[in-house]
Amino acid sequence: MTVLDWYPARYEAHGSTAGEGATRLLGRPRLDPLTVLMRETLQNAWDARRDDTVDFRVELRTLNRSQHDALRKRVFVEGAEHVLCDPYETGEPENLYGGLQQALERDELRVLEIGDRRTVGLGGPLRADLDPEPGEPTDFIDFVFNLGAPRSTRLGGGTYGFGKTISYITSSARTVLIGTRTGNGDGPQHRFIASAIGHHWAQQGRRYTGRHWWGRLHDDRIGPVIDDEALDLMGELALPPFNSNGTSLMILDPDLQGRDPHATVERLVEAFVWHLWPKLIAPPEHDREPVQPEFLVDGKRVALPDPREVPGLSPFVEALQAVRHHDSGRAIASNSFVPPVIRTIDYGVQRRPLGTLGLIKSPAPWRPDGQQQEPDVRPFAGPAHHVVLMRQAELVVEYLEGPESPIPGYEWAGVFRSLPAADDDFAAAEPPAHDSWEWQSVADATAKSHVRTAHRKISSEMRTFANPVGGEGAPASGESVAGLADRLRSLMPGLDATAPSPRSGPSSNGRAPSSAMKVNLVRAKPFYDGEHVVRVEAEISASTGGPVQLSIRAGVQTDTGIETEPPIGAAAPRVRSVSVAGRHLRPDENGTWPLDVPDGGCTAEIEVASTEPVAVRVAASAKREAIRAGD
């Protein structure tokens, strides 16, 4: 029976990195640990891919008794009590506890497994102190032993090699088990090792860094168990088998942050969708998505939504597809009534291209009143007004915030992707967590200038696109929407009315005649309840009341005007209800809505529905009913 050897790393005479320092190499990411975990593990898998598609699997499960016993009696036979953890990261001795030992003593022990397949696995030499052969990969020693190894994948996502520490941070025991199948010589090789990063400690006059490994000792150095021994242990722990090269991580005793297992995996799914959605969208001329993910709780699958169906995320997908088509020389295919806008972000008088920016406007997917609040994994609240920054690896760096749309109920979104020639410049600007571009920290002056210029030009394009007429933002709630449409004609206005523009002159006596009817559409609220609906408030004003015919026209706002005839196979927006003071009106045979307006006027509530999330334009007018002879 295979029993693993324990190797605690000692301080060298000339100094070493303490374990607690190693877990802080990520800095203080702005994102929560589970979100960082999804970003970093998928990034590692993508950089290790063999072709254009990667299988990615996440499962939170509870170990059964035999699996639990295998950990205690075969893997962590020695040393568990020395993996000292500090849940509050205070560094104070009174906060330290034997995290691994406590986890192994529990009656119920959970593990979080994250695995990739159709990758190269963790290959290369097993010793970090020897110079590898030219061109030989160093994936195993970089992931298991080294800290801060430089990036070796051209146009890859990783840059510093610090991201692996998030696997330890999300473990209450600060312990991870690593199994991999990788090519080695004439055939594949299986490797298995366990690793922990705790606090430093001392025993019998010797100081230890807090880093630990469990594997096979050779000449006072530790390495993994190989092939049959590795397969035997991975089978005992029920790690998924390897039908191709790849890597599996088993995070011991994951910190669920007070959630139940199902809620934890749902949060991981949300983090994956919002931060890794480009890997769920097939590029042009490809029939498969780049990543094939699977999420499970104790063997039961958790559904992963299509990013194109996620409220608030779909316009970013449309913008990325526009960038992909543009950069590959293809015509931009778009399902939007308002086509995406493409801008090349360049540098200097020679206009060196740095990247491509795609921008799009669309109705905001508001939820009906009373629905649950948005999950806090989502990077922003309310309608989108952001540009997603990414490099050639198409991994989301951040959602860069811009000005909100000046039209209530609408949003805009964008994607900026660096071009291959400038990709390294932007990679140099990323901190260890890869969650921003910090040009101030770039050492190379040319690269720093490229990133700074790109950031400035992207911000400028965001401001222009959000409000191309240079307005000061959304109007006051009482402003006439006829005037709003006049000021913001080139955006995506949703309302028209019979009111004249504020620049129009007065009537001959300076006042509107007492019999004049006027309709102001003062506010609109989009929402969804099985179809896309815009609820509009129409203020009908008249000094003298009486019978009135209300006319309503609904169409689709495009970049060239208003379309009332839908494309073949599509349905036109329709007026689904009109009400005054809670009383629903019925249209007459002419398609107008008769109503009695009291002296001074009233407010009608109009709902226009569409099966597609298009920019709906609503126009309304009113006239008095003609007086028939004999009345």
Q: Where are the beta strands (DSSP E) in 93-219?
A: 97-98, 110-117, 175-184, 187-197, 201-203, 206-218
Which pLDDT score is estimated for 611? Answer: 78
Retrieve residue 220's tokens: 């006072």
Rounded CA-CA distance 141/151 in Å is 13
In the 8-state DSSP scheme, what is residue 339?
A: -
Which range, of 435-444, 500-509, 599-608, averages the lowest pLDDT?
A: 500-509
Which range, of 44-48, 66-70, 448-452, 503-507, averages the lowest pLDDT?
A: 503-507
Q: Is the pLDDT of residue 151 over 60?
A: no
Rounded CA-CA distance 418/392 in Å is 6
Residue with tokens 């959000």: 466
In the 8-state DSSP scheme, what is residue 74?
A: I
Which pLDDT score is estimated for 259? Answer: 92
Looking at the chain, how many residues does it have?
631
Output the CATH code of domain 481-501+513-624: 2.60.40
CB distance 205 to 280 below 8 Å? no
* Residue 277, SS3 per DSSP: helix
Rounded CA-CA distance 284/304 in Å is 22
Exposure of 137 by Cβ count < 10 A (0-12 exposed, 13-18 middle, 19+ buried)? buried
Which pLDDT score is estimated for 148? Answer: 61
The mean pLDDT of 336-354, rounded to a whole number, is 87
Give the H/E segment covering residue 550. strand 546-558
Contacts of 187 (CB under 8 A, 6+ apart): none
Retrieve residue 207's tokens: 């100081």
CB distance 96 to 90 below 8 Å? no
Beta bridge partners of residue 507, listed in sequence order: none
Which pLDDT score is estimated for 24? Answer: 62
CB distance 64 to 70 below 8 Å? no
pLDDT tens digits, 17-27:
666 666 665 55
The mean pLDDT of 320-346, rounded to a whole number, is 85
Count of CB atoms situated within 10 Å of the CB of 74: 17
Domain ranges (residues) in the chain: 5-299, 307-466, 481-501+513-624
Which pLDDT score is estimated for 515? Answer: 55
Which range, of 73-77, 97-101, 300-304, 449-453, averages the lowest pLDDT?
A: 97-101
Phi, psi angles (nearest 5°) of residue 17 = -90, 125
CB distance 203 to 217 below 8 Å? no
Q: Is the dihedral of CA 501, 502, 508, 509 positive or negative?
A: positive
Rounded CA-CA distance 148/25 in Å is 8
pLDDT tens digits, 455-466:
999 999 999 998
pLDDT tens digits, 160-185:
355 578 899 899 999 999 999 998 66
Specify the CATH number for 5-299; select among 3.30.565, 1.10.101, 3.90.320, 1.10.1220: 3.30.565
Rounded CA-CA distance 252/167 in Å is 9
pTM of the model: 0.73
Q: Is the pLDDT of residue 487 over 90?
A: no
170: closest CA among 253, 96, 237? 253
Higher pLDDT, 334 or 86: 86
DSSP 197-244: E---EEETTEEEEEEEEEEEEETTEEE-EETHHHHHHHHHTTPPP-SS
CB distance 361 to 338 below 8 Å? yes
Name, of 221-225, 362-366, 516-520, 571-575, the range with top average pLDDT: 221-225
